[in-house]
Amino acid sequence: MTSTVERWLAHEGESLLDHLRSVGELARRFAPDALADAAELAGLVHDLGKATPFFQARLHGQDGGGAEANHAYLGALYGAWVAQARGLDPLVVFLAVARHHGPLRTPHELLPHPRDIDPPGFLDVDRPGLRRTLRALPVQLDAVRQSWPSLCPALGLPDPRPFLDGQVWETLRALAEEALALAYLAEYETLEPAARRRFWETNIVFSALIDADKKLAAGYRPPHRSALPADLVDRYLATLGGDGGPLGPFRRQLYHAVDERIRSEPLDRLYPALLTLTAPTGAGKTLTVLNAALKLRARVEQERGLSPRIVYALPFINLIEQTAEVARDVLMNSGVDPADVLIAHHHLAPLAQRPATGSAPTRSPAIESSTPDEDLVEVDESLLLAESWDAEVVLTTFVQVFHTLVGYQNRMLKKLHTLVEGAILVLDEVQALDARYWPLIRAVLGDLPQWGVTVILMTATQPALVDRRRTLELAPPLPGYPARVVLRPAEPRTVAELAEAVAARAGQSQLVVVNSVRVSLELFEALRRERLPHLYYLSTNVTPRDRHARLEEIRALLRQRVPVVLVATQVVEAGVDVDFDSGWREWGPLESLVQVAGRINRNAQAPAGERELGVVELAEGQGHLVYGRVLLEAARQGLSQPLADRAVEQILAAYFDTIEQRIAQERAWRLLAALPRLDYDRSGADCHRGGASLPVRCFQLIEEPPSLSIFVEQDEQASATLRALREAYQNPNPNERRLALRRLRPAVELYTITPLLRRALGNLPRPLFHDREDPRLIRREELASFYDEQTGFIWEISQFL
């Protein structure tokens, strides 16, 4: 029997029996206890359909036929049959196995209507791909009669002969009826948290399966779990000199009060739980929450025997890099190598930040389309560790977190099981989350504690994203915390008038934030004519390489009290550690105004009455297109007269209530209705039309109009990256090519800008590759025509006036 069983291969050089056992075992280990049996079963059957002469022929480079050589669907049906017999959810196992090489799909996309189940012809099935799959089933069933009766018992699975002899069609019909029932689930049935449990179960089992499968294909070895001393931040703070200036006492008060809360509260109130940490800008929230997460992790280790990972998410990449610098300093101060415990998972993260041999995958507009999940065979362990968040501390973006929680894509869902292994999830600057999605975000975050997750929402301006009755606030009131800046509706009504007002304060450092790249460029040009000596510009119009270098230069000048004037878009709004004397902000949401105010007199070195943020409405501005009229009207209503920043913080609750009442949140409710229906992705679904629900595919945390990727060859490092990119693109081996492109993404993205397509068309550089329109290339000898060293990409402004 052994020789018969071992003749079947999963991959070249690996027996199918060994592969299925290993994936089943690892998937079980990855899944929470409640789903361990389902995950193991999915692992044991996911490639069982490879035990046919059709697939084996394809594996050896021969003609294995068409649909008969496909393996996932047959294994998925058998897995559902076994799940039914074992009291597990058949549909969960079916979906996970059927789609383990691609994104999840809505069940009725994968199953026929019950009335159309008429083997062997399936003549009435109207979807050609599904019809081919179903028509291949009788041939496949006959083929596995030669392999499964010996292979299944060797895997601890039941005798497959009743399934092969006809119960397969009963299983298919039951699944089809379930899929039909889900499609017609009444709206009122989708609203309760219990209705979403099957969505979580499906996604978690799918996550455990695909991560186990990919890691074992890469020769995965479980990474060593590293100890993190609970007092890392305490030790770091002890090395810092000075008293912290006027804000020092308040920072210490916040730090010690939150620390005491973590130490003294019953653990059941802290883990798993929904927590908030609300404190003013400049109060030292980053170190406070890092300490809280480490102390909470230590308590969980001591009292529960678990070691939760710490996942720290922020809205913008520049904030991740800033926070990563703090985290590395904290770790290295105690002799902990950041490379052993820390992953920064975003598309600009350099290779040096990876654990062991690590490097991270990225979401690159320039090369993403060449790496579909369905085709990628992953062979780089370090990429897998980063993508599945195999580290003690993970720094990542809101996009990564929420497209994992509200997910359907293979690569995004791969890390979901890591999150629900009991992680401590810190969401910093949560006010940046789009108010239109609040109902969806509120529901998803509210579900996480049932999966063992503690969520800490941290900001100076806390929107009502969690039920206050179920939430513990960690931060104490900070009476006497100084106001630092007055927000004042100001007079300038045009770009020219604003430029004059800025020039009139030439002796002060000033931050000027406007709502669009177009207005920022107009303002910068107007100020350049004023011949200000220390004028800088920041927006997504310049490369990440330039933005990072420029911000460091600006910080150094500000420390020397040089009167820097920075014109910027929202890239410097939240969390960026700069300290200007005064500032200007085009009207935007109230929380955005508060965030800009936090970059002025940041350390309270001057009385608030001496520092001002002028809030202006520009005739050339298009804030209503950026934010919508509801947010702007609510902000004007809240700030109808000058208010100190601390006073503005006090009216934010009423402001957020106003937004909740007025803003259109229908899209969030329709997406929320998709979760109980397992409505992941379906053909013909229009994300911009009506309907009871939108498929999960329609969820985009950040929605942007069409853009074009442009690589800027602006220095020798960019030239070297470009040569490596072209070499990788020309690699004839598709798997090696995709891996090389993914490894290059951090370097590529440092020199990549993504202007709106309508802007780029005004001054379009040549394609980077002869057979593709996107990405484009600005060569070094063309920089003068396409890229200004101060303002970045040169586009024809007049056509947008």
Taking 90 as the threshold, does the pLDDT of residue 175 lie above it? yes
**Lowest mean pLDDT across 57-66, 646-655, 767-776:** 57-66
pLDDT for the residue 582:
96
pLDDT for the residue 218:
74
CA distances from 560 to 510, 519, 554, 555 (A): 14, 29, 10, 9
Work out the pLDDT band at 379, boundaries 50, 70, 90.
very low
32 phi and psi angles, rounded to 5 deg: -65, 160
Cβ contact 621:800 at 8 Å? no
Please classify residue 37 by burial: count the beta carbons closer than 10 Å to its beta carbon, then call 0-12 exposed, 13-18 middle and 19+ buried.
Answer: middle
pLDDT for the residue 606:
86
Taking 70 as the threshold, does the pLDDT of residue 304 lie above it? yes
Taking 60 as the threshold, does the pLDDT of residue 381 lie above it? no
CA distance 264 to 244: 27
Taking 90 as the threshold, does the pLDDT of residue 220 lie above it? no
Closest CA to 488 of 313, 620, 616, 576: 616
Taking 70 as the threshold, does the pLDDT of residue 354 lie above it? no
**Lowest mean pLDDT across 93-107, 199-213, 686-700:** 686-700
CA distance 257 to 283: 13
Q: What is the torsion angle, in degrees rounded to the nearest 10, for the CA atoms of residue 557, residue 560, residue 561 and residue 565?
A: -10
Work out the pLDDT band at 347, boundaries 50, 70, 90.
very low
433 phi and psi angles, rounded to 5 deg: -70, 135
Closest CA to 403 of 705, 101, 99, 701: 701
pLDDT for the residue 364:
29
Taking 70 as the threshold, does the pLDDT of residue 372 lie above it? no
% of the chain exceeding 70 in pLDDT: 92
Give the residue-averaged pLDDT of 325-339: 93
Taking 50 as the threshold, does the pLDDT of residue 121 lie above it? yes
Q: Is 568 helix (H, G, I), strand (E, B) or coil?
A: strand
Give the residue-averaged pLDDT of 544-552: 91
pLDDT for the residue 756:
86
589 upstream amide cis, omega within 30 of 0: no
Gyration radius of the chain's alpha carbons: 28
pLDDT digits (tens, 9 = 90+) for 701-742: 987 778 889 999 999 999 999 999 999 888 888 777 877 887
Work out the pLDDT band at 230, boundaries 50, 70, 90.
very high
Cβ contact 415:207 at 8 Å? yes
Taking 50 as the threshold, does the pLDDT of residue 752 lie above it? yes
pLDDT for the residue 275:
97
Q: Tokens 């047959």 correspond to what residue? A: 74
Cβ contact 570:586 at 8 Å? no
Q: How many residues does the chain have?
A: 801
Work out the pLDDT band at 514, boundaries 50, 70, 90.
very high
Taking 60 as the threshold, does the pLDDT of residue 90 lie above it? yes
609 phi and psi angles, rounded to 5 deg: -65, -15
Give the residue-averaged pLDDT of 69-98: 97
CA distance 206 to 102: 11
447 phi and psi angles, rounded to 5 deg: -80, -25
Q: What is the mean pLDDT of the chain?
A: 88
Which helix H or strand E contains 178, and what residues bound it? helix 168-183
Give the residue-averaged pLDDT of 14-30: 95
Cβ contact 312:395 at 8 Å? yes
Give the residue-averaged pLDDT of 534-547: 93
Work out the pLDDT band at 625, boundaries 50, 70, 90.
confident
Q: Tokens 């996932």 correspond to what residue? A: 72
Q: Is 113 helix (H, G, I), strand (E, B) or coil?
A: coil
Is 478 or 691 the better-scoring residue by pLDDT?
Answer: 478
Neighbours of 133 (CB within 10 A): 23
Neighbours of 610 (CB within 10 A): 13
% of the chain exceeding 90 in pLDDT: 65
Neighbours of 578 (CB within 10 A): 18
Taking 90 as the threshold, does the pLDDT of residue 340 lie above it? no
Cβ contact 751:694 at 8 Å? no
Is 470 or 24 the better-scoring residue by pLDDT?
Answer: 24
pLDDT for the residue 355:
33
CA distance 292 to 264: 12
pLDDT for the residue 690:
63
Q: Is 101 helix (H, G, I), strand (E, B) or coil?
A: coil
Work out the pLDDT band at 376, boundaries 50, 70, 90.
very low
Structure tokens that stand for 51 in this block: 């035990």
Give the residue-averaged pLDDT of 151-160: 97
pLDDT for the residue 300:
98
Measure CA 291 to chain center.
24
Closest CA to 656 of 492, 480, 431: 431
CA distance 83 to 158: 11
Neighbours of 496 (CB within 10 A): 16
Which helix H or strand E contains 81, and what residues bound it? helix 72-85
Taking 50 as the threshold, does the pLDDT of residue 267 lie above it? yes
Taking 80 as the threshold, does the pLDDT of residue 349 lie above it? no
Closest CA to 185 of 195, 171, 170, 197: 195
Give the residue-averaged pLDDT of 61-82: 89
Q: Tokens 């060293």 correspond to what residue? A: 789
Taking 50 as the threshold, does the pLDDT of residue 684 lie above it? yes
pLDDT for the residue 244:
78
CA distance 194 to 192: 5
Q: Which residues contact 517 (CB under 8 A, 6 or more apart)?
A: 539, 540, 541, 569, 755, 759
CA distances from 277 to 257, 299, 443, 590 (A): 11, 19, 19, 19
**Lowest mean pLDDT across 144-148, 164-168, 405-409, 796-800:** 796-800
CA distance 706 to 708: 7
